[in-house]
Amino acid sequence: MRTIAVLNQKGGVGKTTTAVNTAAALAAAGLKVAVIDLDPQAHLTIHLGLEPDTIESGSYKVLTQSAEFEKEIMLVRPNLWILPANINLVGAESELVSVVGRETILREAIQKVGDKFDYSLIDCAPSLGLLTLNALAAADEILIPLQPHFLALQGFGKLLQTVDLVNKRINPNLKVKGILLCMFDSRASLPNEVKADIEQFLDSARGTNCAWSQARILPVYIRRNIKLAEAPSYGKTIFEYEQNCHGAEDYKKVAEFIHTQSSQPSPQPDTQPSATGQNLI
């Protein structure tokens, strides 16, 4: 199983849209996919047509170790399972304060079912708290959706440094693999400037052993598309809501890109010191 955390501590950048629709495209291609809702707002759960108020357990119970991942995960579409969230998840962070090993509960829970799925995608909350730490400890890689506007890079360095710390202390497998530009408008000049800034920053880490030394901007962008914004309120993926739109085309390409990558061996980092990211913001 390949576990991908969809992460950005900012809200409204396209995390949930990316998690749902990439997972749906992978599932439609015949792969077994689990999506995990680690955001108390439960947008992923709602997007897949479930009502959080009727969810008795889900990710909250798995994190508080009162239920098994395998029992809580629900089949919601062919090949697509969800570990749903509800508002109880807000309390998980404080309830776990005195639990030893609280950062690795999710990792241990999903390792037990590792062979059942080809992919698991974790939709993170817009914070870098304990819930997100659990996602980072469980993940093999990170996909960062980013909206290329003028504040896009604010906090980006901190995000990468957090990932690097988790990589060094808790999860040596963890790598930032991709930056996905969401709500992209290629006619505006700013997105291209933001893109150039990110590329310059990522280049500064090439050949180091930091967790983002292999990161790249995905060659596929998600164009701004109203259908993507409408689909969640119908509890539908973009492929169910409108097969033939830019949003469906783009997320299908993202899934293809991710899946193609998994069949390529990743290059080995050399042993230079980690990049600090201090030249960014």
Q: Which does 101 bind (CB under 5 to 8 A by kind): ligand ADP, Mg ion, none?
A: none
Q: Which stretch binds ligand ADP (CB under 6 A): 10-18, 154-162, 168-176, 210-218?
A: 10-18
In the numeric block, which tokens belong to residue 84? 């749903």
What would the DSSP string read from start to end of 171-202? -TT-EEEEEEE-SB-TTSSHHHHHHHHHHHHH
3-state secondary structure of 38: strand
In the numeric block, which tokens belong to residue 48? 């897949």
User: Which residue, chain included where needed, has tokens 């030893």?
Assistant: 100
Q: 190: how many CB neighbours lie within 10 A of its CB?
A: 12
Q: Which stretch binds ligand ADP (CB under 6 A): 13-21, 129-137, 167-175, 188-196?
A: 13-21
Task: Quote the CA–CA distance of 266 and 114 in Å, as a whole number.
Answer: 21
Q: How far is the CB of 11 from Mg ion (least distance, A)?
A: 7
The smaller minimum CB distance to ligand ADP, of residues 163 and 210, is found at 163
Decide if residue 18 touches Mg ion (CB under 5 A).
Answer: no
Decide if residue 43 touches Mg ion (CB under 5 A).
Answer: yes
The smaller minimum CB distance to ligand ADP, of residues 15 and 175, is found at 15
Decide if residue 228 touches ligand ADP (CB under 6 A).
Answer: yes
Decide if residue 16 touches Mg ion (CB under 5 A).
Answer: yes
Q: Are 104 and 65 in contact (CB under 8 A)?
A: no
Decide if residue 224 touches ligand ADP (CB under 6 A).
Answer: yes
Q: Which does 13 bind (CB under 5 to 8 A by kind): ligand ADP, Mg ion, none?
A: ligand ADP
3-state secondary structure of 104: helix
DSSP 208: B
String of contacts with ligand ADP for each residue 94-133, x by CB under 6 A: --------------------------------x-------
The smaller minimum CB distance to ligand ADP, of residues 43 and 175, is found at 43
Q: Where are the beta strands (DSSP E) in 7-162?
A: 33-38, 74-77, 80-83, 119-124, 141-146
Q: How far is the CB of 228 from ligand ADP (least distance, A)?
A: 4
The stretches of 29-121 forming alpha helices (DSSP H) are 43-47, 59-63, 69-72, 89-95, 105-111
Decide if residue 15 touches ligand ADP (CB under 6 A).
Answer: yes
Q: Which residues in this chain contact Mg ion in the complex, by CB under 5 A?
A: 15-16, 43
* Contact residues for ligand ADP, defined by CB under 6 A: 11-17, 43, 126, 182-183, 222, 224-225, 228-229, 232, 247
